[in-house]
Structure 1
Amino acid sequence: MVTFDDKRNFYRMMLNSEVTITIIDDEANRQMTATCRDMSAEGMAIEMDYPLDIGTRVRVKVESSTQSIQSLDAKGRVIRVKEESADCYLVGIKIDDMD
């Protein structure tokens, strides 16, 4: 739960949504699916099966469940990686740009 004691500039919105991640730094623009746990105006936490390197540039797409709300298409970079368990990594992404 986010409280006023949280040191973040923006509150985090809890999600459990499937996202598509494209590795921008990869020549092949490799794509994978993951789960977005939470998101704020500046970043998001993504749960993945394997880690990404710190500094990796990515594009994250969150499809909208309704036509009245636009899908999220953001570019950012990996700023944190935490191993939660075997084959489960929490990847922190700082959002640099949104389309």
Structure 2
Amino acid sequence: MSSVHMDYSEKRDFIRMRVDADVSLIHAGQVITAVCLDLSSSGMQVQSPRQFKVGDNLEVRIDSEHTALKGLEASTEVVWIADHADGGQKLGLRILSMK
């Protein structure tokens, strides 16, 4: 069953970790600085200063502050959007693959 068809309680079966970390979103050759609000094994919630559409594919990069730890790089898909009055959006991103 795809995550789009999972009900709310099934989606919450994934442990979410509050992150509040700066991220880079790469879309169509542009790099957009955003904030990752939370992260799970299957996706993340991101606050973006610009707008995207459901179905957009974004590369996400979270750099590590520790030299001994590698940062996160993932290919993602926008699965939900919440628009904000300031023109930005909260995005629900499904992780398609990790690099």
Given the two structures, how large is their TM-score scaled by the length of structure 1? 0.84
Q: Secondary structure at the match of 1:79?
A: strand
Distance in 1 between residues matched to 2:76 and 2:69, nearest whole Å: 22
- For residues 32-68 of structure 1, the C-alpha deviation after alignment (integer angstroms, 9 at most, x for no partner) is 1100000000000010122201100110000001012
Q: Which runs of 5+ in 1 are unaligned?
A: 1-5
Q: Give the paired residue count.
A: 91
Which residue does 2:21 correspond to in 1?
A: 17
What amino acid is aligned across from residue 94 of structure 1 in structure 2?
A: R
Q: Which amino acid aligns with 1:58?
A: L
- Is the 1:48–1:90 contact (alpha carbons within 8 Å) kept by the matching residues of 2? yes
The Cα shift of 1:84 comes to 3.7
Superposed structure 1 runs of 4+ greater than 6 Å apart: none
Q: In structure 2, what is the Cα distance between the partners aligned to 1:44 and 1:66?
A: 21
Question: What is the correspondence of 1:4-83 to structure 2 with a 5 Å cutoff?
Answer: 7=10, 8-23=12-27, 26=28, 29-83=29-83
Q: Unaligned stretches of 5+ in structure 2?
A: 1-8
Give the partner amino acid of 1:53. Answer: K
Query: What root-mean-square deviation, in Å, do the aligned CA atoms of Structure 1 and Structure 2 show?
Result: 1.6
Quote the sequence identity (%): 23
Larger helix proportion of the pair: 2
TM-score of the two chains, using structure 2 as the length reference: 0.84
